[in-house]
Amino acid sequence: MPLPSQGPGHSQTPPPSLSSHGSSSSLNLGGLTNGSGRYISAAPGAEAKYRSASSASSLFSPSSTLFSSSRLRYGMSDVMPSGRSRLLEDFRNNRYPNLQLREIAGHIMEFSQDQHGSRFIQLKLERATPAERQLVFNEILQAAYQLMVDVFGNYVIQKFFEFGSLEQKLALAERIRGHVLSLALQMYGCRVIQKALEFIPSDQQVINEMVRELDGHVLKCVKDQNGNHVVQKCIECVQPQSLQFIIDAFKGQVFALSTHPYGCRVIQRILEHCLPDQTLPILEELHQHTEQLVQDQYGNYVIQHVLEHGRPEDKSKIVAEIRGNVLVLSQHKFASNVVEKCVTHASRTERAVLIDEVCTMNDGPHSALYTMMKDQYANYVVQKMIDVAEPAQRKIVMHKIRPHIATLRKYTYGKHILAKLEKYYMKNGVDLGPICGPPNGII
C-alpha cells in the first residue's frame, strides 16, 4: 500500500478542475471549454481537448516572429461586449498567432487573468529576455496579490518565482508578507507560497519572515487541505532552526495528527528533514501509541515511515510491539502493512524471531502460518517472509507450507503462496511435484 506522501511532487496542490470562469461559448482557438461547458486549466501542458496542433504550435512557437507594431493599434477603451479588450478577444480568436510579450503592453493584467492569455504569458516568460520579463513584471507587481489568488493569474506569479531575477522574486515576496496565512489557506495562493519557498534562497531574511507568520496557526494549516502543503514545503525548504515553532505546536498532538489525513504527511516530513533534537519528542509520542497507530488508516503510514527511514533503536521499539501479535496484526487491513515493513527492515535477529513466531504458534487446530496463508491480508506477510528469510529459515517455512498445498489451491489468496513457492523451487531447480498442478487437473 503506497504512502500518501510519496513522490517529489507531493506538497504541490494539484490544479483543480474549473467549472465556472469566463464565457462558456465555444471558441475557434479551443481550450476554454471542452464542448460541454467544462473549463480547462491554464497550467502549461493542460492543452484544450479540441485545440488543433497547428494552432497550438503557431501560437506559442518559440521561433515566432515579431508582428509589425502597426498591426496592433488597440486602445484600453476598445472593449468588446464580452468585457474583454479587443486585443484579448482577437488573440483568443487566433488572429495574432505570432503575438509577442511587448505587443500586449498595457494588457498584461487582463491577459494574466484569462485562461489563454495566462498560458501565453507563462510560455513566453520561460524564454523571454530580461527586458521582456521586466516589462511584464512592471505591470503585475502592484496587483500581485490579486493575481496570487486568481484561478489563472497565480500561474504567472509562479513563473516569476521560477524564471525571474532574484530582485523580482524578493519584490514579489514582499507582496506576500502580511498575507501568508490567508494565502496558505487559499486554493491558488498556497501554490504561490510553495513556489516562493522553493525558489527563493533559504538564507534570505524574507523567507524566515514569511514562515514566522504561520506561528500560532500551525495546527490550523496542518489540518487544512491547502495549508498542509505549505507547512510541508516549509519543512522541506527552510532551515530547520527556523521551524522550532512548528515542533512546539505538535507537542501533545502527535497521535492526533498522525491519525489525520493531512497531519500524517506533515509528521513524515518532520521525520525526514528536521534535526535529531526536534524529531526526538515526536518519536517519543509515536512510541507511546504504536499499538493504535499501526491499526489506523493514516497512522500506519507514519509507523511504516519510521521502519523504513528511522534509527535502529526506533525500529527495534516498533518490532517489540509487533512481537507476540504477528498473527492478529497480519490479518488487519492496515496493520498488515506494518508487519511487512517490520519483516523487511528489522535486524536479522529480529526478523528471524518474527518468522519463527508464525512457524511455531498455533491458531486453534491449525498453525498460525496456515491461517495467514488463507487470509486476504496476511498472505502478503507470508510472501514477504519467504522473500527476506535467511536460506535455512526459508527452508523451514516451505517445509511447514507443503502439507497444506492441496488446501491452499481452494483459496484465492492461498494460490499467491503457491506461486511464491513455485518461484523459489524453480530457481533452485527442484522438482515441484504436486505444486505445479493437482493430479486431476482441477484447481
Reading the block at residue 323, the C-alpha cell is: 512481537
CA 388, CA 21: separation in Å to the nearest integer? Answer: 55
Which contiguous run of DSSP H or E holds residue 367? Answer: strand 366-367
Which of 79, 89, 86, 76 has its CA nearest to residue 23? 89
pLDDT digits (tens, 9 = 90+) for 367-412: 899 999 999 999 999 999 999 999 999 999 998 998 888 888 888 8
Which of 160, 156, 128, 144 has its CA nearest to residue 62? 128
DSSP state letters, 13-39 = PPPPPB-S-S--S--SS--SB-SSS-B
322 within 8 A of 339, measured Cβ to Cβ: yes
**Predicted TM-score of the model (pTM):** 0.79
Least confident of 39-43, 171-175, 243-247, 367-371: 39-43
Q: How many CB atoms lie within 10 A of CB 334?
A: 20
Share of the chain above pLDDT 70, in %: 78
Please give the pLDDT value at position 75: 56
Q: What is the mean pLDDT of residues 151-159?
A: 98
Please give the pLDDT value at position 32: 39
Q: How many CB atoms lie within 10 A of CB 166?
A: 11
| pLDDT classification of 28: cutoffs 50, 70, 90 | very low
* Burial (Cβ within 10 Å: 0-12, 13-18, ≥19) of residue 392: exposed
Q: Mean pLDDT of all residues in the chain?
A: 84
Q: What is the mean pLDDT of residues 71-90?
A: 73
Please give the pLDDT value at position 414: 82
| pLDDT classification of 112: cutoffs 50, 70, 90 | very high
pLDDT digits (tens, 9 = 90+) for 118-134: 999 999 999 999 999 99
pLDDT digits (tens, 9 = 90+) for 165-224: 999 999 999 999 999 999 999 999 999 999 999 999 999 999 999 999 999 999 999 999
Which of 60, 63, 39, 61 has its CA nearest to residue 49? 39
Q: Is the pLDDT of residue 56 over 70?
A: no
More confident residue, 47 or 210: 210
Q: Which residues contact 295 (CB under 8 A, 6 or more apart)?
A: 329, 332, 334, 335
Q: Pick from 43-47, 83-87, 288-292 the range whose average pLDDT is largest.
A: 288-292
Q: What is the mean pLDDT of residues 243-255?
A: 98
157 within 8 A of 141, measured Cβ to Cβ: no
